[in-house]
Amino acid sequence: MTIAIKSSGDIVSMRVAGRLAAEVLDMLAAHIRPGVTTQQLDRLAHDHIVHVQGATPAPLNYAPPGYVPYPASVCTSINHQVCHGIPNDRPLKNGDILNIDVTVIKDGWHGDTSRMFIVGEGSIQARRLCRITYEAMWKGIIQVRPGARLGDIGHAIQTFAESAGYSVVREFCGHGIGAKFHEEPQVLHYGRPGTLDELQPGMIFTIEPMINAGRREIRELGDGWTIVTKDRSLSAQWEHTVLVTETGYEVLTLSAGTPAAPAFVGERQAAVAAP
């Protein structure tokens, strides 16, 4: 397996693409409320990416081997939908939880990120699942540094999520990203520490755990894209694109509206910096 090491110029371009992807989510946040359809959100995202950012929505007509072309510009996954949900004309309801996954292509480089949104007032259980999944992503991110292993990321996510009583989807994972939408390596969200590839400065990949409130088993719907929990339990996902730096990591998909990192992230950084 060959994992691309990005040059300083590549990294500058990836910072731009990552920020643009995050800014699409910032823009959409103001429109997410009961009664809005995911189809409307998709149109807003498409117009913003194409006409405001001068970029291209990577999911639109994306067709890896064995798949029909994806018919929308973003993925919208609601409640028990795990990932790759296709926008439609069903109005969002109060209490729904919604993942929006955005990937833009700017000047040939991909930026990929997703966030959870709670429509109106979510239940205590739904809010907790979204929070724990966000924290699980960050538990993985703070493992990133030269010399660490991919298995360290997966182990941190799995142990944290399972200790909270949730399960980790195993059929989908994070991935390398750059001039291609999906590159090596695969970034599993479960595993054993000290295993798999060693991280090196210049690697860029996504960390995007999918966490289920119930069991981890999933199934695919007849549209060929949408993945749901087999037991219809709620599922949540967050995603950032991360660069391995000389001393640790840099999150490339940050914007003005990006939720703040959990408190333990700053505590970890302070501990690492301490003499």
* Residue 105 covered by a domain: yes
At 139, which CATH number?
Answer: 3.90.230.10
Q: Which residues pair with 83 in a beta bridge?
A: 227
Cα–Cα separations (whole angstroms), residue 7 to 4, 12, 145, 147, 243: 9, 9, 17, 19, 11
Residue 231 placed within a domain: yes
For residue 57, the surrounding DSSP H or E stretch is strand 56-57
Dihedrals φ, ψ of 212, to 5°? -105, 145
Q: What is the pLDDT along the chain (275 residues), one digit of tens a residue?
A: 689 999 999 999 999 999 999 999 999 999 999 999 999 999 999 999 999 999 999 999 999 999 999 999 999 999 999 999 999 999 999 999 999 999 999 999 999 999 999 999 999 999 999 999 999 999 999 999 999 999 999 999 999 999 999 999 999 999 999 999 999 999 999 999 999 999 999 999 999 999 999 999 999 999 999 999 999 999 999 999 999 999 999 999 999 999 999 999 988 777 766 66
Q: Which residues contact 240 (CB under 8 A, 6 or more apart)?
A: 113, 137, 141, 206, 207, 208, 251, 252, 253, 254
pLDDT for res 273: 66
Is 2 a member of any domain? no
Domain that includes residue 164, residue range: 8-269
194: left (phi over 0), alpha (psi -120 to 50) or beta: left
Domain count along the chain? 1
In a domain? residue 1: no
In contact, 27 and 73? CB cutoff 8 Å: no
Residue type, 178: G
Residue 274 forms part of a structural domain: no
Domain assignment of residue 3, yes or no? no
- Helices and strands (DSSP H and E) totals, the chain: 5, 15
Examine residue 55 and state whether it is found in any structural domain, yes or no: yes
Q: Which residues contact 64 (CB under 8 A, 6 or more apart)?
A: 182
CA of 139: how far to CAs of 59, 93, 103, 108, in Å? Answer: 27, 31, 23, 30
Residue 275, domain member (yes or no):
no
Closest Cα partner for 254 from 26, 5, 11? 26
The model carries a pTM of 0.96
Place of tokens 């296709």: 86
Q: Residue 12: what residue type?
A: V
